């Protein structure tokens, strides 16, 4: 396997608007430099003065240099069958991809970032910027902020990483989307421009049927994972069917979770089989027995009409949770349906249960501890908003819980936040509470004790 280590100098810091003024490429097998290609390029636009001061590359220097389209074929041939490597690879790789896209060519290669790889394979350095890392590794850069010098230094760092831990280095190779495995009409330019932000995404087939709904804090990265997934039969099948992609930015991970759950139940996409009925199919329920003791039991939520105290993804998760709470609140194993017996529970025999199971402890005393657990499973406040950053800087998003029940969510403009909280409700879209939405909110708040809760 060969690697092509690349560095470019550009007219600015944006991959979409920057033009290349110099490119350097070194081909290596991880041990030896096999070939090199370095050239100035005419960016076909003025080079900003601050870039001239940084790189030393001026308009005068590039006036007779080739334009990108004149060297494009050379770059393709030089990179053929190689892994693309760079320090902060996303910038160099995306600038070059954008240059090729302007020529109508879809440039894609597996790529690797020496910053990320160095942090893992060479831990403990104060800085992983190219200049400081090279200096700490006794690598001299002849021509800092020039493509040739920086690319050569990056190559020497890469070879060092390769020789130290080739196997670990392979973990950092980011495979590219292979258009040949996808639907021929999927718009890859649209995919490339999906923002890597929090939201919900939808996949449609060429009959305009919604086949999959997902959510992520980084939807671009997650969508790319779907389009590269050749490890499962389901993943390969879905790749070939995705004809169109839609997405909705939520800003809030909580709203993404709620929206995903709601949409899956509404549309029942074929590839969301596991989530079509319930995210949390097992619930914790209770009843009062003939002797007045409150008993807990775990049951499928689909078999009960009432709302569970809390819900779980698997029965094992539910049992583990109840076993923990049973010990924490000194509850009876038998009355938590964790121990089957016609007499006492095991904990009573080892003096860790106060004897509710043999009616030695009164229902009143026992139920007091049961009530503490039940209160723990309720929302801490009756009426409140959960306020989080919205997809736009000019707004917040809010989830509304009223009278202890989930009511809905919406976007609140900044100007409205200073007004009465009672006025916020006009920005809230109302949704029916189901067994999953309540658990999603409760689990979210448990994982984020610093959540911005506004009580009213």
CB 65, CB 42: distance < 8 Å: yes
In angstroms, the CA 324 to CA 145 distance is 58
Cα separation of the two ends of the chain: 63
CB 383, CB 406: distance < 8 Å: no
Bridge partners for 310 per DSSP: 284
In angstroms, the CA 154 to CA 24 distance is 11
Residue written as tokens 């209770």? 286
Task: Sheet containing 453-455: give its strands across.
Answer: 429-430, 405-413, 395-402, 384-389, 453-455
In angstroms, the CA 405 to CA 390 distance is 22
| pLDDT at position 277 | 56
Give the pLDDT confidence of 165-207 residue by residue, as tens digits: 999 999 999 999 989 899 999 999 999 999 999 999 999 999 9
Residue written as tokens 């030695």? 360
Instruction: Extract the residue ranges of the chain whose pLDDT is less than 70.
Output: 274-278
In angstroms, the CA 161 to CA 108 distance is 24
Torsions phi, psi for 89 (to 5 deg):
-60, -30
pTM: 0.76
CB 46, CB 55: distance < 8 Å: no
Domains in the chain, CATH or no CATH each: 2-174 (3.30.420.10), 179-275 (3.40.1440.10), 282-376 (no CATH), 384-455 (no CATH)
Task: Sheet containing 173-174: give its strands across.
Answer: 33-40, 20-28, 2-10, 82-86, 111-113, 173-174
In angstroms, the CA 384 to CA 448 distance is 16
Give the pLDDT confidence of 400-447 residue by residue, as tens digits: 999 989 999 999 999 999 999 989 999 999 998 887 898 899 889 988
| pLDDT at position 278 | 61
Contacts of 376 (CB under 8 A, 6+ apart): none
CB 451, CB 385: distance < 8 Å: no
| pLDDT at position 274 | 55
Burial of 208 (0-12, 13-18, 19+ CB in 10 A): exposed
Both structure tokens of 391: 């997809």
Distances (CA, A) of 21 to 24, 149, 204, 240, 252: 11, 15, 41, 39, 40
Torsions phi, psi for 181 (to 5 deg):
-90, -5
Both structure tokens of 325: 């709470």
């Amino acid at each position: 396997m060969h690697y092509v280590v690349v560095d470019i100098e550009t007219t600015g810091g944006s991959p979409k608007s920057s033009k290349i003024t110099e490119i350097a490429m070194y081909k290596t097998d991880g041990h030896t430099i096999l070939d090199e290609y370095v050239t100035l390029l005419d960016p076909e636009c003025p080079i900003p003065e601050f870039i001239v001061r940084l790189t030393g590359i001026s308009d005068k220097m590039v006036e007779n240099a080739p334009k990108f389209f004149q060297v494009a074929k050379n770059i393709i041939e030089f990179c053929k069958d190689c892994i693309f490597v760079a320090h902060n690879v996303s910038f160099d790789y995306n600038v070059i991809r954008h240059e090729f896209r302007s020529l109508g060519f879809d440039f894609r290669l597996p790529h690797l970032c020496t910053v990320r790889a160095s942090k893992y394979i060479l831990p403990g350095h104060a800085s992983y910027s190219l200049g400081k890392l090279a200096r700490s590794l006794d690598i001299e850069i002849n021509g800092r902020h020039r493509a040739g010098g920086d690319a050569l230094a990056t190559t020497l760092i890469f070879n060092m990483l390769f020789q130290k831990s080739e196997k670990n280095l392979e973990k950092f190779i980011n495979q590219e989307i292979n258009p040949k495995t996808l639907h021929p009409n999927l718009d890859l330019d649209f995919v490339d421009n999906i923002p890597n932000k929090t939201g919900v995404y939808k996949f449609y087939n060429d009959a305009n049927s919604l086949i999959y709904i997902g959510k992520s804090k980084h939807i671009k990265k997650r969508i790319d994972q779907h389009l590269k997934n050749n490890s499962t039969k389901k993943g390969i099948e879905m790749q070939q069917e995705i004809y169109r992609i839609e997405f909705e930015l939520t800003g809030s991970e909580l709203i993404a979770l709620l929206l995903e759950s709601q949409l899956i139940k509404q549309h029942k996409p074929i590839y969301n089989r596991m989530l079509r009925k319930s995210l949390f199919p097992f619930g914790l329920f209770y009843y009062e027995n003939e002797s007045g003791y409150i008993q807990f039991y775990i049951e499928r939520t689909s078999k009960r009409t009432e709302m569970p105290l809390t819900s779980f993804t698997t029965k094992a998760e539910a049992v583990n949770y109840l076993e923990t709470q049973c010990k924490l609140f000194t509850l009876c194993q038998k009355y938590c349906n964790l121990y089957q017996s016609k007499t006492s529970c095991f904990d009573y025999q080892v003096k860790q249960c106060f004897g509710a199971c043999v009616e030695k402890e009164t229902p009143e005393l026992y139920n007091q501890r049961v009530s503490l657990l039940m209160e723990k499973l309720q929302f801490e406040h009756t009426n409140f908003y959960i306020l989080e950053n919205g997809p736009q800087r000019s707004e917040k998003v809010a989830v509304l819980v009223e009278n202890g029940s989930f009511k809905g969510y919406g976007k609140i403009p900044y100007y409205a936040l200073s007004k009465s909280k009672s006025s916020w409700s006009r920005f809230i879209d109302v949704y029916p509470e189901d067994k999953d939405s309540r658990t999603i909110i409760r689990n979210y708040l448990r994982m984020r004790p610093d959540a911005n809760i506004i009580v009213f």
